Every structure is written in structure tokens, then in C-alpha cells.
């Protein structure tokens, strides 16, 4: 089985080199390239075609949130894991709205980084413990409710899958819990994306929370 290809954006050279070593220490992962800032992120995506992007937020020239937004505009299915020292609501909110698929803190252990990268590669939305609950609270408290008659019509099974995404479960976990094949779960999620007009797990979760779907 081919390893998941990862490209890394991190301006701190020592941390960047350390993360390359962490990624390459697991046979299921491979760091294809690393960069000191988010400039020309789309061009770098086209060149390396990664499975996962590990993206720092605070970088010179082009920060991680802008780079994430640029990447998602061209590669809507890109899996982007944000890593940062910031845990305040504004950064979390902006990263998710930009299209990030997961959000972890730089205080995460090497084992935690590996687990998060594998999780996002399998369709999950990894979050550092504590961040997931803050996201739930953030969207429930900060976003206006949408009128009930404007809510998208999801099937019962699609709602089950969406609620599992809200709980942070990976595609494999959802399949096991609901007694479905992985392909069926992926098909439901594709339909959910289309009905909610979103392009990532976190965007789907955000809309589910703010509109109480």
C-alpha cells in the first residue's frame, strides 16, 4: 500500500525539519515537500499532488489561512490539517471557514501528529482534545439560526452520517457504527456535500451546527 503523500508548510526551520522526520518515521506517511511560507500554494499543490497538506497558520508573506483558502478554491477536495500555537476562537473559526479539515496544536506529541495525519487521510476531521468542543460551542453561539423552511432536505441516513461527522468520527468508524460499506458512506457524504453546498467535512459540520440540521 502506497504511503499518504504529505506536503508541509511551516516557517520555523527547526520545527519544519523535525516534522519531516516525524512524518517519514511512519511507513504509512511520506513528506513529499516542505515550505517556509504559503506563497504559490496552488502551484506547489499542482506539482506534488499530495494526499494531505499540513499547514501552519502564522507564516510570513502568505499565512496559512489565506493559503488554505487559495488551495480549496482550486482543489476543493484537498485535505488540509492546520497546526498552530493558537487556540483562540478567532483562529479556529477562520481556519474552518477557509476549508481546513482538521485543527491541531503544535503542543501535540509526535504520535499525535501521526495519528491526526492518518485520520485525515481516512476521511476524519482530527482536532486536538478540547478544540472540538470549542468549535461546537462557537458555531452554536456565534452563528445565526437559518429559517427552518430553508434547510436542505437530507435523508434519514444522510442525517445519521452527518451527525457522526459532527462527533468527529472517521469514514471507517461511521461505516462500522452504521453497518455500511465504506463506499456507501462516501456516497452519502458526497450527497451531503452537494445538498449543503460545501466542500469539506468541517464545512458540513459547521453548517450542521449553525443550522441545527
* Residue among 91, 25, 28 at smallest CA distance from 63: 91
Q: What is the pLDDT of residue 132?
A: 62
Where is 49: in which H helix or E strand?
A: none
Q: For 167, what's the count of Cα atoms within 13 Å in the CB-facing half-sphere? A: 12
Counted residue by residue, the chain has a size of 213
- The grid coordinates listed for 206 are 459547521
DSSP-derived letter for residue 147 is P
Q: Which domains does the chain have, with CATH numbers?
A: 4-137 (3.40.50.2300), 145-210 (1.10.10.10)
10-residue averages of pLDDT along the chain (213 residues):
94 95 96 94 96 93 91 90 79 78 88 92 74 60 47 82 79 89 89 80 68 63
Question: Does pTM top 0.85 for this prediction?
Answer: no
Q: What is the pLDDT of residue 145?
A: 46
Q: What is the pLDDT of residue 25?
A: 96
Amino acid at each position: 500500500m502506497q504511503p499518504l503523500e504529505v506536503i508541509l508548510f511551516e516557517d520555523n526551520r527547526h520545527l519544519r525539519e523535525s516534522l519531516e522526520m516525524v512524518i517519514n518515521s511512519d511507513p504509512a506517511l511520506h513528506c513529499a515537500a516542505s515550505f517556509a511560507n504559503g506563497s504559490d500554494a496552488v502551484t506547489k499543490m499542482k506539482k506534488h499532488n499530495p494526499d494531505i497538506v499540513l499547514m501552519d497558520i502564522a507564516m510570513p508573506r502568505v499565512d496559512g489561512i489565506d493559503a488554505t483558502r487559495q488551495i480549496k478554491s482550486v482543489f476543493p477536495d484537498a485535505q488540509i490539517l492546520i497546526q498552530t500555537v493558537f487556540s483562540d476562537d478567532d483562529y479556529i473559526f477562520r481556519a474552518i471557514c477557509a476549508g481546513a479539515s482538521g485543527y491541531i496544536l503544535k503542543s501535540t506529541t509526535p504520535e499525535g501528529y501521526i495519528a491526526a495525519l492518518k485520520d485525515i487521510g481516512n476521511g476524519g476531521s482530527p482536532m486536538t482534545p478540547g478544540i472540538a468542543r470549542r468549535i461546537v460551542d462557537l458555531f452554536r453561539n456565534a452563528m445565526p439560526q437559518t429559517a427552518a423552511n430553508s434547510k436542505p432536505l437530507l435523508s434519514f441516513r444522510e442525517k445519521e452520517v452527518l451527525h457522526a461527522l459532527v462527533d468527529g468520527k472517521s469514514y471507517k468508524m461511521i461505516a462500522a457504527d452504521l453497518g455500511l460499506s465504506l463506499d456507501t458512506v462516501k456516497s452519502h457524504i458526497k450527497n451531503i456535500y452537494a445538498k449543503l453546498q460545501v466542500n469539506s467535512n468541517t464545512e458540513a459540520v459547521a453548517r450542521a451546527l449553525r443550522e441545527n440540521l
